[in-house]
Amino acid sequence: MAMERARDTIGRIFLQRCFYLFAALLVMVAAAPLIEPTPTGKLATNVVQLFIIVAAVAAVGRSVLSFVIALLLAAPTLSFQWLSLYGGFPEAVVLALGFGTALYVVTLVYLLQYVFRRDVMTADKLYGAAAAYLMLGIVWAFGYAFINLYYPHSFAVGGAAAELAMPEFIYFSFTVLTSTGFGDLTPLSRQARSLCIVEQLIGALFVAILIARLAGVYPPSTHGRQ
């Protein structure tokens, strides 16, 4: 079957599937504050997102079903992202955000299923857990972008309402996820504040549950119980 052969080929190329996804996400997060909202900056963002999407398809494509679902979401995401870059299609931005959010949510769900599966914890699973944590921040960045799209001036820079681009949403999302809260970017609308609260709670719960999962890998020894 063509899909099975494609999935196996990607699996051989991306042997440590979760490592490549983690590396691509880390590059995106680290580079986001450096990207200017210019055509060149948007092009750089799309190139990095291209690598993230390819790595996401490889990471979740462990079965034919998950591979097909990821591929069906990845294709329109890439298409609308590049259409939004070159203009001429105003709805492309909304469609790119929608399909991108769906792809990242599906990737996150499959990653969590893989990481928290009750079997041996491997290096690939640890990279999967780290990738899932970074993916949480990216998913919420898309959520903030949606809120700002439908509720303009939902965020403030230095106390004044301002329009933000995706790099700023990524930066803001990770300050919320890690409970850093520098205060340079702040939510103004009720919708944005509600999303911030949910992200803070999920970020804290994720770390706590992951630590419990790692602790469960090493049960207490018989000698220790005695």
Q: What pLDDT does 69 receive?
A: 87
Q: In terms of pTM, does the model score above 0.85?
A: no
The string of DSSP codes covering 71-86 is: HHHHHHHHHHHHHHHH
Q: Is the pLDDT of residue 58 over 90?
A: no
Q: What pLDDT does 131 receive?
A: 92
Domain span holding position 14: 2-225
pLDDT in tens, 153-209: 899 998 888 888 888 999 999 999 998 888 889 999 999 999 999 999 999 998 888
> How confident is residue 80, by pLDDT bands cut at 50, 70 and 90?
confident
Tokens representing 173?
A: 């999302």
Which tops the pLDDT comparison, 118 or 2?
118
Torsion angle of C-alpha atoms 93, 94, 96, 97, degrees rounded to 10: 110
Around 221, how many Cα atoms within 13 Å sit in the side-chain half-sphere? 2
Number of domains into which the chain is organized = 1
Q: What pLDDT does 12 receive?
A: 54
